Each structure stands twice: as C-alpha cells, then as structure tokens.
Amino acid sequence: MAQRVADSERGARRIRAPRFAMALPAWIWFVFFFTLPVLWIVYYSFGYKPDIFHPIATDKLSFDTYHEAFSSTFLHVFSQTLQISILGTALCFLIGFPFAYWLATRVAPRWRGVLLGLVVVPFFVNFLVRTIGWFILLSPNGPVSSLLQRSGIRSEPLHLLETRGAVQLGVVYNYLALMILPLFVTLDRLDPAMREASKDLGASRWKTFRQVTLPLSAPGIVAGLLLVFIPLTGDYITALVLGGAKGNMAGVMVASQFTIAQNWALGAAQAVILIAMIMGTVAVFAVIALAIRTIARANRKITLPPIVEETA
Amino acid sequence: MSEPDEGLRILASPESAQRISRRAFMSGSVVVAVAGGSILLSACSSSSSAAGAASSGAASPTLEDQLAFLHWAAYDDPKLFKKFTQEFGPATSIDTYASNEEAITKLVAAAGSSGYDIVVPTGPYIPQMVANNLLQELDLSKIPNFKNLETVFTNQPWDPGNKHSVCKDWGTVGWIVDKSQISRPINTWNDFIDVAMNEASGNFSLLDAQNEVMGVYFWANGIDWTTTDQADLDAYEAWTLQMAPHVKKFESYPGYQFASGNYALSHVWNGDARQGFNSFKDPSRYSWGMGAPKTELWMDNWTIVQGAPHPEAAYAFINFILDPANSLQDLAFHGYNTGITGVKEAAQAAGYPFLDMIFFSDAQLATMQAQEINAAFDREVQIFLKMKAAAGG
Amino acid sequence: MSALEEPAKRRRRDLVDVTLRVWGIVVYAFLFLPILVIVAYSFNNGRAMLVWSGIGLDGYRTGITDPTIQDAVKTSIVAASGTALIATVLGSFAGIALARRKGKWTVLFLALVFLILVTPEIVDAIALLIWYVRIGGPFGPNATIPAVSYGMLRLWAGHSLFATAVVTLIVRARLQGLEETLEEAAADLYAPPARRFRQITLPLMFPAVLAGALLAFALSLDDTIISSFVSVAGASPWPVYVFSAVRNVLRPEIASVSTLLLMLTLIAIASVALVLRRTGQSGQDVAKTMTVGG
C-alpha cells in the first residue's frame, strides 16, 4: 500500500518486477537440480535393462518394471520398512511428547533455550558417526555387552547388532530431535492461562490435558509426526550400518539396484513406489485423523435449550 | 559335468584353450616369452634398491600430484602407499567397494567422469569392462617390473597379452569358524551350509558378492558354477530364499569383525581370513577352511580406468608394487599370493605367519575353478538382491 | 475444592512433576549416550575402533596428520562454505518474496519447497548422480571452470538443495512474524526500495539469515548420502570417508576427528548465538529461530 503510494508519487513509469522475482533464482535452482532429475528418474522407471553392462534403455516404455518391483520379496521389504517407520514414529512421539511437555511447562523460561539447545547438540554430530556410536554400543564386544557379561546378567555376548531391533532403536534415536523441536515450540506457545482456566472450571488434570492441551498442540504434533515419519521411511544409513541382513529397509534396497545391480529401471520403479508409499500412508493417517476429529467434535457439541424469557 | 581343467576356458577361444591347461597354468612349466628383456634383467638383480632407481623421476615422465584408487578394502599395506608418495610424489586416495558388481556399476554410472585412475577387477569381469570402454589399454613399456611376475600369472585367457591388466594377486574362498561356538568340524560346503542353517543360524555372514554366494550353492551340489541352465538357476534361487532368514549379514570383510565376536561362522576370502588371524588374541580358537570339494580361483588385476586423470602416476604405482620387496611387504599385509617370482621363498625366509593360507599345494589348486561372466549374470545378480530382500525380517 | 482435596492434589502434582523431570533426564542420557561413546573411543590407542588397547592420543595424532583425512575434511569445509553461500543468498531472497510478495505463486513455490524437504535423500542422491552424468558440462570431467573441480561443483549443487529449502523457510518465518509497519514507515518517509531493503528489511532479517547460513553449513557438513553417490575421487568429503570406513575397518581416527568437528561446530554455534544475543534476541528466540521458527 505504502509502496504503491511511493511509486505513484514518483510517477509509475517503473516497470514493476513480478511478485515472485526474488524467488526466481531459488525456483530455477530447485527445478534444475531437483524437479528435473527426479522426473528423469520417474521416466527411467518405465524403461528396462537391456543387457549386462547397460543399466537402462528407454526405447520401449512400459509398466513391466513395475510388475517386477511389485514382486513378493520386494513388497516384503516395503512392508517391513513401513512397520519400522510407523513404530519408530510412534516411539518418537511417546518419548518426545512428555519431554517437550516437561521442557515447555515445567522448566523456568530462562533455561528453556539452553536446554533446548542441549537437545540439539548431539544432532550436530554427523548422522553416520552417531549411528556408529550405536554400532559400538550394541557390538558383541562393545561396552554394554562387556558390562552385562561381567556383571553376570548375560552369559554370552550381546546379539543386538545386525537385527531389526537395532535398526528400530537407531531410527528412533536419529529422528527424535525432529519430533521434540516442533512439539516444544507449539507447547511453549500455549498460554498457561488456558490450562489454568480449565482447572478453575473443575476439570481434572487428565481432562485438561486431553481436552485442552492436546487439541491445542495438534499443529505441533502433526508437524512432528510428519517430520519424523517421512525421512524415517526413506532412511538409508541407519539400516545399512546397524541392520545387517535382517534390518533391510526400502532405501537400502533401492540403492542396491543402483550400486550393485546396475538396474536403473528397477531401482527407479522402486524409488517411485517408496515415495508413493510414504505419501499414501500420510494420506491414510490424515483421513483417519480428520475422521477422529469430526467424531470428537460431534460428541462435544452442546445443544442449548431455547432461551425462555422470564417474566418479571 | 565339466572337469576342473575347463574352468579357465571362460571366454578364450578354443585354440587358446588347448594351449592353456589347468596344470600348465599352475605348475609354471610353460615358459611364455615375455616382451622387453634387457631392462628387466638389470632391474631384477637390484630389487632391493629398485626404489632408488625411480626417485624424483629424473628420466621418467612427470607424475601428476594425485592418484585415485577404486579398490577393495584392506587390500594393500597403507605403509606402501606412504612409501610411494614419499618416493614418487603423488598423494593417494582410495574409495572402496565390496564386490566387482559394485565397482563396475560405479564406473558405468559415472561414464568416465568418476575421477578414478586405478580399479582392481577380478579377471573374468575384464573382457566385458573392456568391451564397454571402461579400461585403458596398457603400455607395458611403462611397467618394467612386469617381468617380475611368474609367467603363468600373465597372459590370462580373459586378457591375452596383458593388454588391459596386470596380475595383482590371486586367491580363493572358504570360511572361518569360531570353534568355541561351533564344535562340529566343517570340511565341505555342505557342512558349511548345514551349520549355517542350524548352530550358526542368525550368527553367520556371507560374502557381499553375488558370485561367491552362487559358488557356495553350486559347489555344494556338484554343479558347475558357470552353468546357464535355467533349471539350475531356479534351484539356486529357491535355495537362496531358504538360506536368507539365517544370514546375519552380507559382509565382504569379516576378518577383523570376527575378532569382535560378531559372527560364529563367516564366508571369507583367504587373505582376509589371514588378516583376521593376525589380529586374533587366541588364534587357536578359530579355524580356517578352504572350500571343498570345489572352490574358487580368482585373480585380481591392476587396471587403469578409461579417462583416468592421472595415468602416469598410475603406471608408476603399478610398477612400484611389482617390485619384489614391495610385493613381499604387501603380501605380508593382505595375505594373497602376488605371483611375483620367488615371493613364496622370500615369505618363508622372512618367517611370516599363516603361510598355509597364502600358498597352496598343487592338490588344492586342482580343486579351484575360475568364474565366468555369461548370459546368466543378470539373473544371478537379481537372485542375490532378492535374497538380500528376503533376509530382512 | 475442599481442603481435603488440596493436599492430595499437591502430592499428585509432585509425582507428575518428578516423573516428567526424571523422563527429561532419561531422554538427555539417551541422546548423549552414543556421543559420549564416540568421544570415549576417540582416545583408544589401538588400530581398530572396537578393540580397546589403552588410552592415548594416537587417534587424534593420526586423524590430524593423515593426508587422506586432511583432504576429506578440507573438502567438507569448502563444500559447506559454498553451500552456505548459495543457500543463504537463494533462500533469503526466496524467503523475502514468500513473506512480503505473496501471490498466486506462493502455494506452488511452497509446495516445491516442501517436496524437497520430504523426498527421501536416497532418491535425491540417485537422481542427481544420473543427472550430473547426463548433462555433463561443468559437472563432468571436461569442465573448464578454473580453480574449482567439477567434483566440488557437484557437491555444492547437491548439498544446497535441502539447505536452500531450509533457509527459505527460516527467513520466511522470521519475516512473517514481523509486521511490515517499519518498512511502510520508511516508504512513507520517501526511502527508495533499495534503501528500504538495505536499512530496514535486511537488518530485521539478519538473525534469520545468520541462523540459516549456519544451518546450511552444518547440513552440508553432515550430508552423507548425496555425497557418497555424486562425489568424485579427489573431492570426497569427510562423511564419505567415514562411510567407506564403516564398510571395512573402523579406526579410532574417525572418532577423534568427529569429536574435533563437533567441538568446532559447537564453537561456531555458540558464536552465532552470542551474536544474535547481542542484537537483542532472547535465548529462546535464538533457539526458535534456528529451529525454523516453529
């Protein structure tokens, strides 16, 4: 408004740049280094592998590679990935929410910044190195195993490494911060007066939590769930380092088509399926969440009786 | 079905196959004239000071300042790399892979832009790599130490005349077992499979290389592992799906890991096993077994990548490593026979441990068979990847 | 509330409080456990990381003197600096546009940004590798740009994707939180757009830009998957070296160098936080800015 005033005062001879002009460089960068390459991969998923040493041919486009990608062994990996990621996200939430709640409501405001920073410090160590830390911890002759054996709790070395459990633990650890941060921000923003009002109106602590705190922190919860679920499902490193043969995840499977088999068509098809699976799961849970919200709203509806004028 | 003798025929023409028989190859009784006589003789006699002769590149071409390897892991003594840099100048860098398929994929995907100079493929993979323009032709005049190689290790059927490769070393495959966890003796591949599915279930590793896993099945069942019969491949696939749930990890370098107690049984190459034994606090607790009744004979080779940015440095290194003193030092580290003339005697004289894991008798050699890259290759790779997928959960 | 209930409520409150605090401590322990292990094993004097052979500084000595490691760390820092520059410039302008020049294009652009944030990194890595090889040019071995290797260009372009997206969101969040009144006032006082930008908008954005640059730097240092797929021999960053080591033999140098890098990163963050503090931000604001404004 002010700008238009200033411009018209100068005589609007200046040609106004389009509104998105400042975002144009970023836009071009994104399209050139993200959109186009990914679309290229999708294009490859319709190709096939012609012979041993040529990874892709696109003269004949078809869905054949998708048929192969939907084979039972590969689907098994996708389903295992989904299990690990849904359980992992749930665990991140169960661990992260009480923590964020504590930090946002029980810690003096002047310490919150520091303590939040402290949460983030481990995540400034390289992702891979953090995972190696767990590799050492879970190793059969690592500190935990030695401790357990020496104290007599276990008679043989720890066999946690190279299992699905190790991957489950690793992914929860690696993505926990992404759950805590948005949860904290939302809970921190909550006006404590809301909770006090609820208590003043006679609600028990649990009811306050359930009907005031939780719904108000919904945006943060959703953000946290998404921020964890999506990268977790596509995780590659944790599965590779901690998983061995048993902890196979879709990301590793897709990668091996490109690093070992040289079958770009199959790898591309699997990558597309992975992305579709992530989006599909998010969509399903969004629908469920909306359904729950509608039902909850309906239950909470209060119908007021018609106002009756009292005769004086 | 086929005798061990035919194993090496691979991609050689029938005429050359007549020329190269297994015994001839192994016994070294066939003397093949090696090109470039005079320089080699003088260099040979002063092997210990070979390094000095090549200092500062007085008469040699100027070397680049870097040398990039695409290499197997733990495959050369790091001290030798330092020595090379000190004497010749180029700084070395290594990126590793666990199987030939991985190396080839990297080179194919990069299409000449990978930036690597030297790659070390196993012999049977070389012809196809050449056909797909991944390797440079070698100028053997730049590798005077080539003559140090025993002649039976030169002029292989997959690379006649050593146009693209020079022998680095050769070896075989077998297993390591932790006797404190597995009391049963393992003498054959069938024993290996049986123990793997029972006592060692969930606690053993297979090599992360599709051809090796394939070998285990075919040798255990008396089938020639160069088969392209679809019925054989179907049976192999069915077996992989049975075996998959028992595998703890696909690991190409279990030697060191064994000392950490990660596995009770491991599928392993002989040199890597030996590196493990060198690190064990109590070697008598473990036992190494060579594959039986049949096992692999593989040879890894120095090759120069097509489009290598530092070819002169690459030649300098290959020549450097073929020097007998350096070769002996390397052998002591990686545990594979480097094929240099007199290296076995030198190793024995130096008293290096576990030499029985490096040098094999004629009887043992007779059981070894080389691989073949044929029409079944793509399917075998996919079977392997499916096995990895099935191993999860 | 009866007098009888009050003490009961106070007791319960204490229990919940205590539980929450204990949980907080447990979570901190969980978060720091592997880090402490890494730092501990960085003092392992042995050859293999997992085989403890006495306490010493061998790992640090090797880590600092080994030329391959030096190369890798140097590559990482150069890559991170370039990425931070690209991401900050592109992301800041994009963030300003999103906050101040909203329009029909906003939804589309935001969708692209979110798409970048949610695509699995492995897909990015594979797509970029194939793309680089396909388009060649500055990303191939026949590049003719002086002083910069094509491997480094690959890293800059690859790392800057996620980083730019993050910086965009941070700057946008920051500007959205500030009303345009100050800029409008400047306009009313006849300040031309360039001056307005330089003297009002930029200083207002500064904390977010700084935080964004730092985050971009850290993200690039951390990037493993894209690096391991697109990197070229001679331009391999540190995480690729570690990745290689994981798949063969882990040595204490890895832990030592990682510890050193962590110290450096913490010092950098502390400095930035200090600077932000000086410009009037509270500790909480700083933390919130760096976590994408919430």
Closest among B193, B261, B309, C170 to A156, alpha carbons compared: B261
Return the residue matching tokens 């306009």. C187
Tally of domains in chain B = 2
Check CB contact of A201 with chain C, cutoff 8 Å.
no
Nearest to A73 among B203, B381, B390 (CB): B390
Task: Say if residue B229 is in the same domain as residue B275.
Answer: yes
Calculate the alpha carbon distances from B84 to A219, B79, C271 in Å. Answer: 60, 9, 43
Q: Which two tokens stand for residue C244?
A: 């290689």
Q: CB–CB of A33/C155 below 8 Å?
A: no
β-pairing verdict for B286-290 and B91-97: unpaired
Look at residue A189 and give its three-state secondary structure: helix
Alpha carbon distance A242, A217 (integer Å): 34
What's the pLDDT at C155? Answer: 93
- What does the domain layout of chain A look like in residue ranges? 42-288
- Which residue is closest to B75 within chain C, CA to CA? C248
Residue B35 falls inside a structural domain:
no
Q: Angle CA(C141)–CA(C147)–CA(C153) in degrees, nearest 5?
A: 55
Q: Are B385 and A260 in contact (CB under 8 A)?
A: yes
> Is C233's CB within 8 Å of B116's CB?
yes
Nearest to A33 among C128, C285, C286 (CB): C128
Element (H or E) spanning B368, and its range?
Answer: strand B368-369
> Count of CB contacts below 8 A, A vs B?
102
Q: Find chains touching chain A: ≥3 CB pairs under 8 Å.
A: B, C
B118-119 and B298-304 strand pairing: antiparallel
Question: According to the model, what pLDDT value does residue B383 have?
Answer: 92
Please indicate, yes or no, whether residues B103 and B124 belong to a single structural domain of this protein.
yes
For A124-148, letters b (16+ CB in 10 Å) and e give bbbbbbbbbbbbbbbbbbbebbeee
Same domain? B13 vs B147: yes
Chains that touch B (3 or more CB pairs under 8 A): A, C
pLDDT value for B25: 38
- At residue C89, φ and ψ (nearest 5 deg) are -65, -55
Q: What DSSP designation does B119 have?
A: E
As a whole number of angstroms, the distance between CA A274 and CA A276 comes to 5
pLDDT of residue C103: 83
Q: Are residues B250 and B375 in the same domain?
A: yes
Q: How many CA atoms lie within 13 A of A260 on its CB side?
A: 23
Per-residue pLDDT of chain C (294 residues), as tens digits, is 444 444 555 555 678 889 999 999 999 999 999 999 999 999 988 777 877 778 888 888 888 888 888 889 999 999 999 999 999 999 999 998 888 888 888 999 999 998 898 888 999 998 998 898 888 778 877 766 777 888 899 999 999 999 999 999 888 888 887 777 877 888 888 888 888 888 888 888 888 888 889 889 988 988 999 998 888 887 889 998 898 888 777 888 899 999 999 998 888 878 877 877 776 655 556 555 555 543
The answer to whether residue A43 neighbours chain C at the CB level (below 8 Å) is: no
- Domain residues for the domain of B67 are 4-28+59-170+298-359
The per-residue pLDDT for A15 is: 66
Hey, is B370 helix, strand or coil?
coil
**pLDDT value of residue C211:** 84
Three-state secondary structure call for residue A48: strand
In this structure, the answer to whether residues B207 and B340 fall within a common structural domain is no
Radius of gyration from C-alpha coordinates of chain C: 24
Q: Which residues contact A116 (CB under 8 A, 6 or more apart)?
A: A103, A181, A184, C284, C287, C291
Task: Look up tokens 């359980």; give the residue.
Answer: A87
Give contacts of C240 with chain A, Cβ < 8 Å.
none
Q: Which residues of C touch B (CB under 8 A)?
A: 48, 50-51, 67-68, 71, 129-130, 132-133, 136, 139-141, 150-151, 232-236, 240, 244, 247-249
Which residue among B74, B91, B109 places its CB closest to the CB of C248?
B74
Nearest one of C148, C173, C177 to C86, comparing CA atoms: C148
Question: Is the CB of residue C215 less than 8 Å from the CB of residue C92?
Answer: no
Residue B46 lies in a domain: no
Q: Are residues B242 and B313 part of one domain?
A: no
Structure tokens at B15: 């005429």
Q: Choose among B96, B110, B256: nearest Cβ to C48.
A: B256
Please tell me the predicted confidence (pLDDT) of residue A3. 54
CA Rg, chain B, in Å? Answer: 21
Choose, out of A126, A206, A232, the residue to mutate when testing the contact with C (most C CBs < 10 Å).
A126
Q: Are B208 and B100 in contact (CB under 8 A)?
A: no
Distance (Å) from the alpha carbon of A246 to chain B's nearest alpha carbon: 4
Decide if C121 contacts A234 (C-beta within 8 A): yes
Residues in chain A: 312
For A54, which residue in chain B has the nearest alpha carbon?
A: B108
Min Cα–Cα distance to chain B from A139, Å: 7
**Same structural domain for residues B342 and B204?**
no
Using the Cβ of A104 and the Cβ atoms of chain C, whether some distance falls under 8 Å is answered with: no
Instruction: Indicate the SS3 state at residue B69.
Output: strand
Q: Do C232 and B115 touch (CB under 8 A)?
A: yes
ipTM of the complex model:
0.83
Q: Chain C interface, mutation test: which of B67, B69, B75, B93, most C Cβ atoms within 10 Å?
A: B93
Distance CA C80, CA C215 (A): 10
Beta-carbon count within 10 A of A204 CB: 12
pLDDT given for residue A61 in this prediction: 85
Contacts of B115 in chain C (CB under 8 A): 141, 151, 232-235
User: CATH code at B354?
Assistant: 3.40.190.10
**How many whole angstroms separate alpha carbon B10 and alpha carbon A297?**
74
Average pLDDT along chain A: 85
Q: What are phi and psi of B149, to 5 degrees?
A: -75, 140
Can you read off the two tokens belonging to residue A170? 């690793």
What's this model's pTM, rounded to 2 decimal places? 0.81
Residue C191 phi, psi dihedral angles, 5° rounding: -75, 130
**What is d(CA B267, CA C205) in angstroms, rounded to the nearest whole number?**
59
Give SS3 for B389: helix
Inspect the interface and report whether the beta carbons of A260 and B241 lie closer than 8 Å.
no
Would you report the helix, strand and coil content of chain C in percent, each value rounded to 5? 80, 0, 20
Considering only CA atoms, which of C79, C64, C67 is closest in space to residue C261? Answer: C64
Residue found by looking up tokens 């992305």 in the block: A275
Domains of chain C, with CATH numbers? Answer: 66-290 (1.10.3720.10)
Q: How far is C264 from C233, CA to CA, in rounded Å? A: 26
Q: How close does chain B come to A125, measured CA to CA in Å?
A: 23
Whole-angstrom distance, CA of residue A185 vs CA of residue C293: 8
For residue A13, pLDDT over 70 is answered with: no
Cis, peptide link before residue C120, omega less than 30° from 0 = no
Residue of B nearest to A135 (CA): B262
Q: Report yes or no: A47 and C132 within 8 Å, Cβ to Cβ.
A: no
CB B286 within 8 A of CB B276: yes
C248 chain-B contacts, CB cut-off 8 A: 73-74, 96, 253
pLDDT for the residue A223: 85
Q: Which residues of chain B have pLDDT under 70?
A: 1-61, 393
Q: Chain A partners of B106 at a C-beta cutoff of 8 Å?
A: 259
Contacts A5 to C, Cβ<8 Å: 187-188
Residue type, A260: I
Does B273 lie in the same domain as B387? yes
- Considering the domain architecture, whether residues B257 and B314 belong to the same structural domain is answered as no
Lowest average pLDDT, out of A217-221, A228-232, B29-33, B320-324, goes to: B29-33
The crossing angle, in degrees rounded to 10, of helices A127-138 and C238-247 is 20
Residues B142 and B225 in one domain: no
pLDDT (0 to 100) of residue B117: 94
- CATH among 1.10.3720.10, 2.30.30.100, 3.40.50.2300, 1.10.260.40 for A42-288: 1.10.3720.10
User: Span A162-189, mean pLDDT?
Assistant: 90
Contact C292, C91 (CB under 8 A): no
Residues 6+ apart with CB under 8 A from B105: A55, A258, A259, A260, A261, A262
Residue with tokens 């106070």: C10
Residues of A within 8 A of B243 (CB-CB) are none
Give me the helices (H) in chain B, please: 14-19, 22-27, 38-45, 50-53, 78-88, 100-110, 126-131, 189-197, 210-220, 230-243, 254-259, 270-279, 311-321, 324-334, 343-350, 362-366, 377-391
Question: In terms of domains, do B348 and B329 share one?
Answer: yes
Question: What residues of chain C lie within 8 A of the CB of B73, using their CB?
Answer: 244, 247-249
